[in-house]
Chains A and B, each alone.
Chain A
Amino acid sequence: MSSHQRISRKSFLNWFLGTSLGATILATLYPIFRYVLPPEVAEAPTNRVLAGKLSELPPNTGKVFRFGAKPGILVRTPSGEVRAFSGICTHLNCTVQYRPDFQHIWCACHNGHYDLQGKNIQGPPPRPLEAYRVDIVGDEIYVTRGA
């Protein structure tokens, strides 16, 4: 057998073992990798919810409500207007609240302030809160997203 043949057989073996080792590792890791990532839960997208009652929301108060899986915030301004925003602080994901003493929206986590339009006015939040549309039907406050 010539040395040339021997080398090529050796390199073939190397290649074969190397790639099958790689394939085995991949075949082991891939399912684990996919398993760790949780499956998407098919949730009917919530676009409109009954967020609260007008009679339970006097002027200069606020309320966190459930918008699908996420919190939203209803605000009744001191002048009596009702507004709704996403309740999730744009800084690092805390849930905001209405502070009657400041008369605006506040995030306790890093002292972030938003005005009554949901605009970030002080502290670390980098963006305004997403605003929702509010419809009042009788005493009921409905909030709609993406309008």
Chain B
Amino acid sequence: MRLGERIWHALDSRLNLQPLVQFAKEKSVPRHRHDWMYYFGGLTLFFFGVQVITGILLLLYYRPTAEAAFESVQFIMSRVPFGWLIRSIHSWSANLMIAAAFVHMFTVFFSGAYVKPRELTWWTGAALLLLALGFGFSGYLLPWNELAFFATRVGTDMVSKVPLVGDWLLKVLRGGEDVTGATLTRFFGIHVAILPMLTSLLILLHLALIQRQGMHEPQEKPPLPPRPFFPNFVLRELMVWLVGLAALAALAAFFPWELGKKADPFAPAPAGIKPEWYFLFMFETLKLLPAKIFGLDGEVVGLAAFTAGGLFWFLAPLWDRKRARGEKSLFALLVGWGVLLYILSFTALSYLGVFQ
């Protein structure tokens, strides 16, 4: 017997692995006109893996204090061999991960895959998206540059508008009244310990749910027989990952992520300041709101509206009765397109400088 086989037999005789192999052989993925959308969840997972690896590498040199953070990132980028590449990949992959997650979310929404019995998958996915945004927000501060400093001042200040517990939350988040080195250290802990742990757990749950229930299929009977998961689907997914890796490498190498100027808590916010693209639609909306709406502060109304909108989106499995019955829902379609067009148009207009 060859060595590999011997090891396999040794393990199988102890752990009874045969049923797992059988299961993997029988597992399949539906095949239809829109089956391209099944790859985006996996692509998001791929970028998450890249984040874990490059994140751990960055930890070797990064120092989470107000005095040293900026310099340590500078050191990574200028002195450490390939440091610029690792950091650039980490930044780009973060963005691509969120982009892939958005695509994944919208395809799930438009195909109505969130209805019973897959409510929990939708909710764990939504929670994962929030965690991803939390990753983006906390990681943005870590280089301790000017833009990050003010983005964090603005972002954390929004928390203080939460009724009753706002001020308390603000202090917990900032580690004090203001954004200081204490905030940086907290964000670091959140970014490298709390969020990764929660995200890993939720990813496992999300995948377990999909595993347990199988992929959602569109209403009309698929004309084609399902595709075996192994090796056909896995190989195709790997191809998608390769494309993702190529895009990532090209972006990271040709558009290295900039570091900017070191944060100075006693300098004014620089002109042209703006957050990462995935927060742009909210940012521009806040800019458009008047100072007072119905006697309330404009930003409070705006933030309340965003929260309500997000909650409505989150609760789609509960209000979308039609799709749950297997019917088409014009309302859900309108909601989906409304949200998509709003986000796309505001982001695009922001890049075009229309709101300046």
> Is chain B a partner of chain A in the same complex?
yes
Scan B151-192; emit 1 where CB is below 8 A from any A CB, else 0: 001101110000000001001100111101010000000000
Answer yes or no: A66 CB below 8 A from chain B CBs.
Answer: yes
Distance in Å from the Cβ of B160 to the closest Cβ of chain A?
Answer: 8
Answer yes or no: B292 CB below 8 A from chain A CBs.
Answer: yes
Q: How far, in angstroms, from A100 to B238 measured CA to CA in the complex?
A: 56
Answer yes or no: A69 CB below 8 A from chain B CBs.
Answer: yes
Answer yes or no: A116 CB below 8 A from chain B CBs.
Answer: no
Answer yes or no: B290 CB below 8 A from chain A CBs.
Answer: yes
Distance in Å from the Cβ of A125 to the closest Cβ of chain B?
Answer: 6
Residue of B at shortest CB range from A121? B291
Interface size class of A (residues with CB under 8 A): 20 to 34
Residues on B with beta carbons closer than 8 Å to the beta carbon of A37: 168, 171-172
B273 touches A123 (CB 8 A): no
Answer yes or no: B286 CB below 8 A from chain A CBs.
Answer: yes
Answer yes or no: B225 CB below 8 A from chain A CBs.
Answer: no
Distance in Å from the Cβ of B300 to the closest Cβ of chain A?
Answer: 8
Scan B102-137; emit 1 where CB is below 8 A from any A CB, else 0: 000000000000000000000000000000000000
Q: How far, in angstroms, from A108 to B150 measured CA to CA in the complex?
A: 10
Q: Which of A93, A96, A107, A108 is B157 in contact with, Cβ under 8 Å? A: A93
Residue of B at shortest CB range from A67? B266
B286 touches A110 (CB 8 A): yes
Answer yes or no: B265 CB below 8 A from chain A CBs.
Answer: yes
Q: Which of B157, B177, B267, B292 is A92 in contact with, Cβ under 8 Å? A: B157
Residues on A with beta carbons closer than 8 Å to the beta carbon of B287: 110-111, 123-124
Q: How far, in angstroms, from A64 to B267 measured CA to CA in the complex?
A: 6
Complex interface residues of chain A between 40 and 79 (CB less than 8 A to chain B): 41, 64-66, 69-71, 73
Q: Which of A36, A96, A124 is B290 in contact with, Cβ under 8 Å? A: A124
B266 touches A109 (CB 8 A): no
Answer yes or no: A144 CB below 8 A from chain B CBs.
Answer: no
Residue of B at shortest CB range from A110? B287
On whether A65 and B266 interact (CB within 8 A), knowing A37-B168, A92-B286, the answer reads yes
Answer yes or no: A94 CB below 8 A from chain B CBs.
Answer: yes
Q: What are 6 contact pairs spanning A and B, CB under 8 A? A: A36-B172, A69-B178, A108-B271, A110-B283, A111-B287, A124-B298
Q: Which residues of A contact B (CB under 8 A)?
A: 36-38, 41, 64-66, 69-71, 73, 87, 89, 91-97, 107-111, 120, 123-126
